[in-house]
Structure 1
Amino acid sequence: MRFITSITRRALGGLVLLLAAQLAQAADIRVVTSGAFTEAYKKLVPIFEEASGHKVISAYGASIGNAPDSIPSRFARGEKFDLVILSEGGLEALMSAGKLVPGSRLDIVRSQIGAAVRKGTPKPDISTVEALKQTLLAAKSVAYSASASGTYLSSELFPKLGVQEQLAKTGKKIYSERVGAVVARGDAEIGFQQVSELIYFKELDFIGTLPDAVQQTIFFSAGMVEGAQEPQAARQLLKFLTSPAVADIVRATGLDPVDHRAPLAAK
């Protein structure tokens, strides 16, 4: 597989042996994950499946919000999962609602917000707070996610920059698809979302991340679901996803792996 080139053969081989030893019986592991971790997840899951013999049944949705495919909506209508991966705020909400095993939160990656425009169009300046403000005021249309990053932008950053009134006219909150897709087809002039959700669109030019002074770094975290049918296999999948051996794959998707790891609560 061409995306494994950055992992040493020794490290990956050791991981395969570990999984083979610990997972003697094949299982179907049901996982739901939010957008920012999706690209890394899609690269890593086939490696895990090949090494372990398990099958990962995946679902995707926004960390927050009431879109039909959002993770909260999936839980509300009773969809069953073993493991959930989403923004820290969304995870804590599920934990408070009793959907997850207490103490099972495990931070996987850090993610930052960036911006992109359609390839071949002018690249506005967002390198400073003032430049970002002027870009937002000048843009004819601004797309942002209905999930964690977009909530921060619309409820905190836009008011802080004094552009909320303008964005009420030009802003577009995007539900159930990636902001990059909206910008790529020309339905928005500029789009803001997690870097890992923008950089894979060949139709886009990535501008950069928000200035440090107004950046929001979000943890994307995992939790064990109450009533999980395959908790042991799900824990082994999570161990694989947070292994140092796969960290370079994760970084290549625009995310920063979290070094600190705590054991998941027993179930």
Structure 2
Amino acid sequence: MNQEIRLFGAIAVRPAVLALIPRFESATGLTVAVKWEVNPTVKKQIEAGEAFDLVIINPPMVRDLIASGKVKAGSEVAFGRIGMGVAAKAGSRVLDIGSVEAFADALKSAASIAYASDGTSGGYFLGLLDRLGIADAVKPKLVAAAGGQTAAAVGRGGAELAVVPVTSILAAAPEVMLAGRFPAELQSYIDFAIGISADSTDAEAAKQLSEFLASPAVDDILKARGVERRRENA
């Protein structure tokens, strides 16, 4: 029987995972059906009864789903981490955001800044503005964007800049470019983990996909799309 593996994942990992699925399907003969939402929505929908075989979201959320019996205990594996970046329209002037001061100045100088209002990255960014002491200057210029549309808003002219996980910026090319990553002192890596449904209709197939996505063999493909791995013996 060749039924679909139902993969439910966070929007931030979508560009990277979509690059891997054809390779998995060709190698195994299995098919993968995908659904994407921002991290909190993925967790909420699974808690409400959404059917899935494999999930990729923040590790604490995977553990919450394990505790609630939605994800199989012992199935959690690390997927990778994604850093935050600044998106600008392709061909626009070069931004200096290499230091904390330059980063803050660029935000204060921008006419408008899109951010993922309902995602993990958006919450971090709002807190960062407060920490930098520039919230009063920047918040009036913020443009709330739905998950998956933040970087694209820059390409459409809906905002001058966007702050969003690097994966989403790279996926929005060629209309959008990665102006730069957050300075090291301000960088926040969003971690992602894989979990297998406790009620999977084909747990063995789900395990095959989990092992493939976590395999070192796909590290380079993920790196090119903004997902970093941390290997103990690398």
Scaled by the length of structure 2, the TM-score of the pair is 0.91
Alpha-carbon separation, structure 2, partners of 1:94 and 1:133: 37
Deviation at 1:244, TM superposition (A): 1.8
Distance in 1, Cα, partners of 2:132 & 2:46: 35
Question: 1:118 and 1:97 mapped to 2: Cα distance?
Answer: 43
Structure 2 distance, partners of 1:92, 1:187, is: 37
- Kindly indicate whether residue 50 of structure 2 is the aligned counterpart of residue 84 of structure 1: no
Q: Is 1:211 the equivalent of 2:187? A: no
4+ long deviations beyond 6 Å: none
Aligned pairs for 1:164-175 within 5 A: 164-175=135-146
Contact 2:11–2:148 (8 Å) recurs in 1: no
Structure 1-normalised TM-score?
0.80
Shift of 1:97: 4.2
Unaligned 5+ runs, structure 1? 1-24, 65-69, 261-267
Q: Quick one: which of 17, 27, 33 aligns to 1:57?
A: 33
| Residue aligning to 1:259 | 231
- Match for residue 100 of structure 1 among 71, 75, 82: 71
1:39 alignment counterpart: 15
Show structure 2 runs of 5+ residues with no match.
Answer: none
Q: Distance between the aligned counterparts of 1:49 and 1:120, measured in 2?
A: 37
Change in Cα spacing, 1:220 to 1:167, as seen in structure 2 (3 Å) is: same
Q: Spell out the pairing of 1:1-267 with structure 2 (5 A cutoff).
A: 26-64=2-40, 70-145=41-116, 146-155=118-127, 157-200=128-171, 201-259=173-231
Asked if structure 2 preserves the Cα contact closer than 8 Å seen for 1:34 and 1:71, the reply is yes
Aligned CA distance change for structure 1 residues 191 and 235 (closer, same or farther; 3 Å): same
Mapped partners of 2:43, 2:78: distance in 1: 19
Aligned residues: 231
CA RMSD of aligned residues (A): 1.9
Tell me the residue number matched to 1:7: none
Alignment check: 8 A CA contact 1:115 1:192 kept? yes
Give, in whole Å, the separation in 2 of the partners of 1:206 and 1:243. 27
Superposed displacement of residue 119, structure 1: 1.7
Larger radius of gyration: 1
Distance in 1 between residues matched to 2:154 and 2:61, nearest whole Å: 26
- How far does residue 122 in structure 1 lie from its aligned partner after superposition? 2.4
Q: How far did 1:188 drift?
A: 0.6
1:49 partner letter: E
